[in-house]
Structure 1
Amino acid sequence: MAEAHQAVGFQFTVTPEGIDLHLSREVLKHIYLSGVTSWRKRAIRLKNGILTGVYPASPSSWLILVIAIMSTLYTRVDPSMGMIDSIKETLPVSDYMTVQTQTVVSAILFATGLWFSLILILRYTLKALLSYHGWIFESHGKKSFSTKLWLNLVKMLSGQRPLLYSFQASLPKLPVPRVEDTVRRYLESVRPLLDDEAYKQMETVANEFEKDPAPKLQKYLILKSWWSANYVSDWWEQYIYLRSRGPIMVNSNFYTMDLLYITPTHRQAARAGNVVHAMLQYRRKLERGEHAPVIPMCSFQMERMFNTCRIPGVETGNQEKGSFPGVPCHVSAPADYLQHLKDRKHLVVYHRGRFFKVWLYYGGRHLFPSELETQFQRILGDPTEPRPGEERLAALTAGDRVTWARARMKYFSQGVNKASLDAIETAAFFLTLDDESHGYDPENGRSLDMYAKSLLHGKCYDRWFDKSFTLIIYKNGKMGLNAEHSWGDSPIVGHMWEYVLATDCFQLGYTEEGHCKGDTNKGLALPTLLQWDIPSECQEIITRSYTLAKEIADDVDFHSFLFDEFGKGLIKRCRTSPDAFIQLALQLAQFRDKGKFCLTYESSMTRMFKEGRTETVRSCTCESTAFVRAMEDEGKTRLELFQKAADKHQNMYRLAMTGSGIDRHLFCLYIVSKYLGIDSPFLKQVLSEPWRLSTSQTPQQQLNLIDIQKFPKYVSAGGGFGPVADDGYGVSYIIVGENLITFHISSKFFSPETDSYRFGQNIRQAMLDIKALFNVEKKKP
């Protein structure tokens, strides 16, 4: 009845006595409040936009400078060296402007010009400071004088409270490496994987490429780096993600898990209420730019976290399959695109085969957690059955992209289908109230495996894989995320996830019965059940997409486990990098698992540059293979070889972070060659090499909202992704505090070479074997 009440908020009828108006004060009140909220939001955005635009200065500094310049007029000192008089001469003479007024206006204009000039000087000074990366190559805990000086200058210019996007204009551009350096590092990276004859052939091909056509391709790439904000990111987004025509479920999307040991409430609707409210708080701060920036990291990716959806496009060009899936031969062929909107006021909820639209605002404010809980409980209790084709509709987003694009154009471009699809694609995000229960169970060794598979692909039709992310709330109160990859990378999602977990547990909280705190508003409009009219031909297409998606999902062999023998604390006492330690353990595990080495991908970030995303660290090196062989051959120089391999890995990681990586440069050279119609055997060979071991570290404690020393149970299990190669492994790991590391391993069942559980056991043993090289013991808690 609430919708009917609001619908008659404004009504008029024509009678013999005239027009009879009926106005609802309640509805008019909400209209007024909504307008006030909208204008307040615009004012805050305008204010923060100004603060960001003049950063590292502040508007108050303009007033101080104007007062200082004006005060000099009375001391007969001219700091402008005649410029104020020159400005005064150019001002239009008017009967309404006295000589004194002209002087004052001229002084204000001069002060304003001087202020803008100082802003530019400060901004370019800050950019020069942020271009210095020497600090990253220094040993942990040791700072040179130049680094200390650099750090103090950055702090001084950063101000006291910079906003999220304050540093964007001061970040340096990603540099284009020299071709000679990239080719040399590439040859060095493949040396341990090739015999002498194969390496000699590759060296010949690489040297020929370096002579021709590399110089020509490089010139175009340098020109692009001058013109664009980042010479890699737009092409990376287009050709790696958006032009890929294969299913994005498992192959591209990734997931993030809930807290490991804590379930704040077992009430599904209540957990959804708190978490959605926390996400709305995060989004509000994000839209206003009020989150504290991670200095000196680029925040560009965060803009599209909410209100974003990937829209399928029909591909007409052929593809060249390689280690960069989605790089087409015809680079001008159509592709998917990202639709990003501002301030969407609803989300769409999927439960038991139905889609519901839920408004997130009431009277110009966000719904309170208790109000959201009421809405979600209404959905859980709704007995409506799905309409034909509705239950598995989202399988279209899990299947082939061309099939989905054509079905979307033919069956969802008009009528109720278009209106309902628009509601999904324009929603703030997508929420699934799952009818299963998942989470970590210490008594069930497979619990994390099933939890990971559920987050990664679910039933193949109960997540909208095109949305920027799908929030999944399970029946037992546990939760997780499935994120689309083209708009951003896992550290960006992790930033939001840390905020949500901390807000949910430590700020919002629950009642003793497990409900959201606060009163329940029974006057809310009911969630709207989306309507569909899906013809039988479209239902057949949905079934085919589901069948394809289910084949992919059923083939995913997943194993997640907690490594609690030791963690970051002990590794640091070994005086080595935790990431290098784990990467060398992965190399040892890979060799024991398959009896050979393989090309290894480790994701690094380039967010110290404007619009930076990722770079590859090629973790399999001559130094790492020498160490692994020594571990297997009972060599006496194991520790020395380990230190050399760890130092090598650390140096490569630092080079990747500072713009001197290999793979993004080669990728962009390849794209230029395709535009120019140049065939390069070297680039073709590089892009055809499979990554049989693909690895990534999930960051944690980006916000430091939870003190895990004080609250050790409030830690997340991190997240993971699907296998990259048919006969390889995908490994994600998160270093949780001082004494825990969580691993997520994926592979494919159909490959006789892989077994995720077996690889997990090899990782565990490799970690222990490397630890045995050092005379250290785990500290007692």
Structure 2
Amino acid sequence: MAEAHQAVAFQFTVSPEGIDLQLSHEALKQVYLSGLRSWKKKLNKLRNSFVTGVYPASPSSWLFMVTAILVTQYSRLDPSMGMIGKIKEHLPVSDYLSDQSQNVLSALAFSTGLWLALILTMRSILKLLLCYHGWMYEEHGKMSNTTKIWLALVKIFAGRKPMLYSYQASLPRLPVPAIKDTMRRYLESIRPLMTDVEFQRMTQLARDFERTLGPRLQWYLKLKSWWASNYVSDWWEEYVYLRSRGPLMVNSNYYAMDFLYVTPTPVQAARAGNLVHAMLLYRRKLTREEIKPNMIPSSCIPLCAAQWERLFNTTRLPGVGLDRIQHLRDSKHIAVYHAGRFFRVWLYHNGRLLQPRELQAQFQAILDDLTPPVPGEEKLPALTAAERDPWARARQAYFQSGKNQQSLSVVEKAAFFVTLDTSEQGLQGTNPSQALDAYAKSLLHGRCCDRWFDKSFTLIVYRNGKAGMNAEHSWADAPVIGHLWEYTLATDSFQLGYDADGNCKGDIEPGIPQPQRLQWEIPSECQQVILKSFSVAQALANDIDFHTFPFKEFGKGLIKKCRCSPDSFIQLALQLAHFRDKKKFCLTYEASMTRLFREGRTETVRSCTIESCNFVRAMVDLSQNIGTRLHLFRVAAEKHQNLYKQAMTGEGIDRHLFCLYVVSRYLCLDSPFLREVLFEPWRLSTSQTPIQQLELFDLKNHPDYVSCGGGFGPVDDNGYGVSYIIVGEDLINFHVSCKFSSPETDAHRFGSNIRHAMLDVLALFQLDKNSPGSSSK
């Protein structure tokens, strides 16, 4: 009850002698420090909003302009061409000011108006410049004069020292593609997957849609694109994520792994202390908007940063039929799960962040706590792992009052969720490949009841010091979590560090409150719901087949010698591997970003093309020679690159079709074409995990500190999910998932096919791996 006593700032007792008032100075001090911190945050936010609001100008430029105008006024020059005099005539307070004061005030008003006009002009010019995407279609290493001039103008109008959200108002809106272009690209994408009869039928459906219903639906999309910041993102969040009633675990959430070969410390509490502190440092930078805006690599083209806002203090709350996202401006605690118990750990003491050594002591106190969980508590997180509607009804029935409401509020309002896992994971044991597979499955679903899948992310720290993350998908896409995780790992290993015994560095200030055990009173009826959810989640987890493996034979360095995009190389290898695995082609999903536009999220690259199929057929046809295969590879790789560029520049197929379908449902109109298109199965779903902060990792001097990337579950019951990360010049890590219940799939078999396909594609170029080379036909 110590926490309860500390929470009371004053007590009073009424007695015959009068009123006895007792003040708790420590509690009053904490109230004062908390309020002071809150006001500092508000003032910082106000300042940042102003600085971002006037970007690419700065407050100092306003002062410079005011000074310049006043100087010209005193020099009897009039740069305003009479505007200052007009303002002076209409000043509402002219009767109360001297003539000199009126001159100064008029000059001040004119210079401020001129400054704002210049800001709007610069922003408008920058927005127009960012609408140009011709630079993406130019050959790598060759830049036209037009693009050189455009790039120079972008650098001029982009300003200096931008904050995280500085470019948001300058980003263009996502354009709505023309109906005829989308129909043409769609029919082209499905041609290799259909017989002549099937394709003829689909072509007729597409033509009928383009001629009749399509233009009407397109009109509504155009209207929305003019009104909303992005015509896709809000519907995508609602209908793809928040209205989905299936389990988040495996189906939606994804994971990120620790370093592949290195575990900085074997002390679980110490690793948790450093990682949590690093994340809090990142959150502070995020709050202050000190994180550099994302840019297209090797250029000054900004990407949308809107998704960063909900990284911390965010939870997906279940609802019957529709979930909602709860985001708080701030949270002063984290929720921790260990051995079936929940705890609250405060993040601040005396107005400052807890240091790593102090956080380690907090986590160690939780690990040393041997009290058992109350009935229903151990498997309570399983509610977040199974279907959404049962969880929503249980939340409404059993968690809206008393201890359950208070404890659930602590979890849902936490900055993020931490699991101190009781197992050991990583690249260990006599079978490293099997250990990596188990590590991936643990991060993806754990024991189905030891991650809070509704939180924006769960940090998982294992008993041997290995770590990882599980992230919810609705609020943002993987690059945001990846950016946080890169910073966290680098800060943990290269800045914070550990002492010789593996403990966090630093000292512990006395008087820090101990972790608070959350209290639950879970009735038997709710326990039955929890067990049913656990059973559903466990069945789903047991059906997941996972294979994670590092591909060490070659990497980006050798692929570059082939004068080919590494992503196109890998995607074509995946097409070859899939055909060898299943003896057929399939609809393939590759995730691409649309963050060149305001509030952009993702678009689909349909990687299975006519060109890629021609290449694959040549590879499995023994009668074809290397020259023919290499030519078909070049054609297929170029096609893939063009599709990727179209997706990035708002000319993709699938988000447009998705929004047309949403409009048709709002209008209660049935479209046979859209109904078929939107429910086609993605049997191969792929995604690349980009490394965004190369400057944080010195792979030359620390080659073992390489990330293993992350992965996700299969999108289709009879399909594969493949994630890959290109690390340095010589390593590519793959994550392959599928379902045991499918007679068509096997994760290890597909992994073996990927290895062989990568080597077979490279062999076409006849390169000497030990020296620079060029492709040979």
* Range of TM-score over shorter length: over 0.9
Task: Tell me, yes or no, if the aligned pair for 2:3 and 2:516 is still in contact at 8 Å.
Answer: no
Aligned to 1:683: 674
Which residue of structure 1 lines up, in the alignment, with residue 260 of structure 2?
260
Tell me the equivalent position of 1:116: 116
Query: Which of 753, 756, 759 is the matching residue for 1:762?
Result: 753
Quote how far apart the aligned CAs of 1:77 are. 1.7
Kept in 2: contact 1:163–1:290 (CA 8 A): yes
In structure 1, the residue matched to 2:407 is: 420
- Return the alpha-carbon distance in structure 1 between the equivalents of residues 27 and 661 of structure 2: 59
- Counterpart pick for 2:440 among 445, 452, 457: 452
Correspondence for 2:764: 773
* Pairs within 5 Å for 1:483-502: 483-502=471-490
State how far apart, in whole Å, the 2-side matches of 1:130 and 1:439 are.
44
Q: Is 2:335–2:417's contact at 8 Å kept on the other side of the alignment? A: yes
Give, in angstroms, the shift of residue 460 of structure 1.
0.4
Match of 1:740 in 2: 731
Aligned residues of 1:709 and 1:737 also touching (Cα < 8 A): no
Report SS of the residue matched to 2:528. Answer: helix
Once residues 694 and 235 of structure 1 are traced to their aligned partners in structure 2, the CA distance between those partners, rounded to angstroms, is: 21
Question: Unmatched 5+ residue regions in structure 1?
Answer: 316-334
* Contact persistence 1:627–1:638 (CA under 8 A): yes
Partner Cα separation in structure 1 for residue 16 and residue 639 of structure 2: 91
Q: Distance in 2 between matches of 1:93 and 1:218?
A: 53
Matches of residues 126-525 of structure 1 in structure 2 within 5 Å? Answer: 126-295=126-295, 296-315=302-321, 335-441=322-428, 443-444=430-431, 445-525=433-513
AA at the equivalent of 1:114: L
Within the alignment, does 1:65 sit opposite 2:65 as a pair? Answer: yes
The counterpart of 1:657, out of the listed 625, 648, 653, is 648
For 1:336 and 1:93, how far apart are their aligned partners in 2?
54
Aligned sequence identity (%): 66
Is residue 558 of structure 1 aligned with residue 576 of structure 2?
A: no
CA offsets 1:586-643 (integer angstroms, 9 cap, x no match) = 0000000010000000000000000000000000001000000000113120000000
CA shift digits 1:560-592 (9 cap, x unpaired): 111000000000010000000000000000000
In the alignment, the residues of structure 2 paired with residue 276 and residue 236 of structure 1 have an alpha-carbon distance, to the nearest angstrom, of 31
CA distance in 2, matches of 1:174, 1:8: 52
- Once the two structures are TM-superposed, the CA of residue 136 in structure 1 deviates from its matched residue by 1.4
Give 1:8 deviation, angstroms.
6.5
Structure 2 contact 275–492 (Cα < 8 Å) conserved:
yes
- Structure 2 equivalent of residue 666 of structure 1: 657
- TM-superposed deviation, 1:234: 0.3
Give 2:298's aligned residue.
none
Residue number in structure 1 paired with 2:775: none
CA distance in 1, matches of 2:235, 2:129: 28
Name the residue aligned to 1:322. Answer: none
Find the aligned partners of 2:92 and 2:528 in 1 and give their Cα distance.
Answer: 75
1:628 to 592, 612, 616: 616
Deviates more, 1:6-15 or 1:202-211: 6-15
SS at match of 1:704: helix
AA aligned to 1:361 is Y
Q: Kindly indicate whether the alpha-carbon contact (under 8 Å) linking 2:94 and 2:102 is maintained by their aligned counterparts in 1.
A: no
**Which amino acid letter does the alignment assign opposite residue 502 of structure 1?**
A
State the Cα deviation string for residues 443-500 of structure 1 (Å, max 9, x = none).
4220110000000000000000001001100000000000000001111100111110
State which of 718, 728, 734 in structure 1 corresponds to 2:709.
718
- The change in CA–CA distance for 1:601 and 1:4 in structure 2 (over 3 A counts) is closer
Q: Which amino acid aligns with 2:604?
A: T
Q: How many residues align?
A: 762
3-state SS of paired residue (1:349): strand
- Conservation of the 8 A alpha-carbon contact between 1:83 and 1:110: yes
Unaligned 5+ runs, structure 2: 296-301, 773-777
AA in 1 matched with 2:690: P
Match of 1:702 in 2: 693
Q: Deviations over 1:99-152 (max 9, x none)?
A: 111111011001111110000000111111111111111222222222222222
Deviation at 1:20, TM superposition (A): 5.0
CA contact (8 A) 1:2 1:523 kept: no
Q: Measure the CA separation in 2 of the matches of 1:289 and 1:37.
A: 17
Question: Which stretch has the larger CA shift, 475-484 or 139-148?
Answer: 139-148
> 2:299 aligns to what?
none
Preserved CA contact (<8 Å) 2:7 2:27: no
Residue type of the partner of 1:80? S
- CA–CA separation in structure 1 for the residues paired with 2:247 and 2:27: 46
Q: Report the more deviating stretch, 146-155 or 763-772.
A: 146-155
User: In structure 2, how many angstroms separate the alpha carbons of the residues matched to 1:306 and 1:6?
Assistant: 27
Q: How far is 1:287 from its partner?
A: 1.4
TM-score, normalised via structure 2 length = 0.96
Contact 1:562 1:743 in 2 (8 A): yes
Q: Report the CA distance shift for 1:26/1:675 in structure 2 as closer, same or farther (over 3 A).
A: closer
Show the counterpart of 2:574: 586
**SS at 2:266 equivalent:** coil
Q: Name the SS of the counterpart of 2:721 in structure 1.
A: strand
Q: Which amino acid counterpart does residue 131 of structure 1 have in structure 2?
A: C
1:309 partner letter: T
2:96 aligned counterpart, secondary structure: coil
CA distance in structure 2 between the aligned counterparts of 1:133 and 1:442, rounded to whole angstroms: 50
Cα distance, 1:713 vs structure 2: 1.2
Task: Identify which range, 140-149 or 449-458, moves more after superposition.
Answer: 140-149
Q: Which amino acid aligns with 2:342?
A: F
How far 1:678 moved relative to its partner? 1.2
**Whole-angstrom distance in 2 between the partners of 1:337 and 1:209:** 34
Match for 1:348: what amino acid?
Answer: A
Contact 1:570–1:779 at 8 Å: present in 2 too? Answer: no
Matched, 1:79 2:107: no
State the alpha-carbon separation in 2 of the partners of residues 372 and 301 from structure 1: 28
- Structure 2 counterpart of 1:424, one-letter code: V
- Deviation of 1:706 (Å): 1.4
Residues 93, 274 of structure 1: CA spacing in aligned structure 2 closer, same or farther, 3 A cutoff? closer
Find the aligned partners of 1:702 and 1:289 in 2 and give their Cα distance: 17
TM-score when normalising by structure 1: 0.95
Q: What are the superposed Cα offsets for residues 535-562 of structure 1, whole Å, 9 maximum, x if unpaired?
A: 1111111111111100100000000111
Q: How far apart are 1:63 and its partner, in Å?
A: 0.7
2:537 is aligned to 549
Letter in 2 for 1:660: E
